[in-house]
């Protein structure tokens, strides 16, 4: 890993580059120069083979350095345009002259800092990020010239899917591939604020870790600017390191403004307080959640309907049966006392019945005696015993019968 750091007039920067875990050589190339036109930062990601990629990226950086050291350009945007077009011509002509460099090309992202203003341009998928301290937001300033970015722009795939797309490395624009090239240059400069950060990187970084994780690392104030660039490289390699990784990080200070002025149409912005992209819920999870919600809703409706019918049946049953009067409930002590009173009442009733029966029996006996006397006084000669008619209501008393016989014999 190659690293470098330097503190300049009103900003400091650090940079680092690494081959990665898979590639055998490093086709990335970077440079920073103090020129008559301001401070120039260039980062390139070469392609086209072992030597061709390295050559293309190196030619691009050297061409821009020579161009801005040649003379002063009043229009910084126009100067960036001309410098990139010139680099494209140099790379293309070299590939035409030497067979070993045939088909070589490179991406490019460049920044020119002049009078506390940041002018920028890019070709391909190397990126420029800007972290705004006031809003804690990481802005992606450039838009990739790539196949997957075209799919995103057309609405065919989502931004999150582009990072994992199998054709994400296919770029649509690069230096040295064609004779003519149209670079993309920022129309208005960035006006940085104190403690804001500017990051240039190859796709070996953003292809391995998310924008959210990038933001967390570059804003870690416990680390120096150089240590932050080293940590970016380490994280990319920990995530797989399938490509070369190159970064340049710039921190601004003494800018005499509390908030930056950024281009209106930034490609993407990531706020540090938002949900990290690694933990975002995928579309499959959303579909599964929707299915579960629908099933739960149907079950709830079914349960509500059946509980309503059950409640109705319960209400009908309650209406059919009289409601018990719990106020008349007898507790054990009261029930015992009431049972004793009931038994006493029952005994007195039985005694009354026995007394009444005895009285009736006495009345019947007296009636029978009177009948016997009348029979004895009758002038009949017949001495037969006249028995009283049987009374169906009660049986004849044996004592009365014996008394009647005795009187008849006396007569």
pLDDT band at residue 12 using 50, 70 and 90 as cut-offs: very high
Higher model confidence: residue 221 or residue 50?
Answer: 221
Q: Is the pLDDT of residue 305 over 70?
A: yes
First vs last C-alpha separation in the chain: 162
User: How far is 37 from 79, CA to CA, in rounded Å?
Assistant: 9
Tokens for 331, please give them. Answer: 């507790």
The predicted pLDDT at position 298 comes to 85
Ordered by where they begin, the domains of the chain are 2-285 (3.60.40.10)
Poorest-pLDDT segment among 38-42, 198-202, 386-390: 386-390
- 339: its two tokens: 């049972």
What local confidence, expressed as pLDDT, does residue 283 receive?
A: 52
Q: Under 8 Å CB-to-CB from 386, ≥6 apart: which residues?
A: 375
Which pLDDT does position 389 carry in this prediction?
A: 47
pLDDT of res. 286: 59
Q: Can you give the pLDDT at residue 272?
A: 74
In this prediction, residue 390 carries a pLDDT of 47
Please state, rounded to an integer, the average pLDDT across all residues of the chain.
Answer: 80
The answer to whether the pTM exceeds 0.85 is no
Q: What does the pLDDT look like over 76-85, one tens digit per residue?
A: 999 999 999 9
Res 381 pLDDT > 50: no
Is the per-residue pLDDT at 108 higher than 60?
A: yes
**Do 200 and 127 touch, CB atoms closer than 8 A?**
yes
């Amino acid at each position: 890993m190659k690293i470098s750091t330097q503190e300049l007039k009103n900003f400091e920067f650090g940079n680092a580059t690494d081959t990665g875990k898979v590639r055998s050589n490093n086709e990335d190339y970077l440079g920073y120069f103090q020129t008559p036109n301001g401070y120039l930062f260039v980062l390139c990601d070469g392609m086209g083979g072992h030597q061709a990629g390295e050559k293309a990226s190196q030619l691009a950086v050297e061409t821009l350095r020579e161009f801005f050291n040649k003379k002063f350009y009043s229009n910084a945007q126009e100067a960036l345009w001309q410098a990139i077009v010139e680099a494209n011509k140099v790379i293309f002509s070299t590939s035409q002259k030497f067979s070993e460099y045939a088909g070589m090309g490179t991406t490019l992202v460049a920044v020119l800092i002049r009078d506390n203003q940041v002018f920028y341009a890019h070709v391909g998928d190397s990126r420029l990020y800007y972290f705004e301290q006031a809003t804690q937001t990481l802005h992606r300033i450039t838009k990739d010239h790539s196949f997957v970015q075209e799919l995103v722009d057309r609405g065919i795939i989502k931004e999150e899917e582009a990072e994992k797309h199998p054709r994400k490395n296919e770029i649509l624009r690069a230096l040295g591939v064609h004779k003519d090239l149209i670079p993309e240059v920022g129309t208005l400069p960035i006006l940085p604020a104190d403690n804001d950060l500017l990051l240039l990187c190859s796709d070996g970084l953003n292809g391995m870790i998310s924008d959210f994780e990038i933001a967390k690392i570059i804003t870690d104030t416990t680390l120096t600017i150089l240590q932050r660039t080293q940590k970016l490289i380490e994280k990319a390699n920990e995530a797989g390191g399938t490509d070369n990784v190159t970064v340049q990080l710039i921190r601004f200070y003494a800018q005499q403004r509390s908030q930056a002025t950024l281009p209106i149409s930034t490609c993407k912005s990531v706020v540090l307080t938002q949900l990290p992209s690694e933990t975002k819920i995928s579309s499959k999870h959303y579909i599964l959640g929707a299915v579960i919600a629908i099933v739960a809703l149907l079950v709830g409706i079914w349960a509500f309907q059946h509980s309503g019918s059950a409640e109705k049946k319960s209400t009908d049953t309650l209406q059919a049966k009289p409601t018990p009067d719990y106020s008349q409930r007898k507790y054990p002590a009261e029930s015992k006392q009431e049972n004793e009173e009931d038994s006493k009442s029952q005994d007195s009733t039985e005694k009354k019945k026995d007394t009444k029966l005895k009285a009736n029996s006495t009345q019947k006996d007296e009636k029978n005696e009177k009948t016997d006397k009348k029979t004895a006084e009758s002038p009949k000669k017949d001495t037969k015993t006249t028995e009283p008619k049987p009374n169906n209501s009660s049986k004849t008393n044996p004592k009365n019968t014996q008394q009647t016989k005795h009187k008849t014999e006396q007569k």
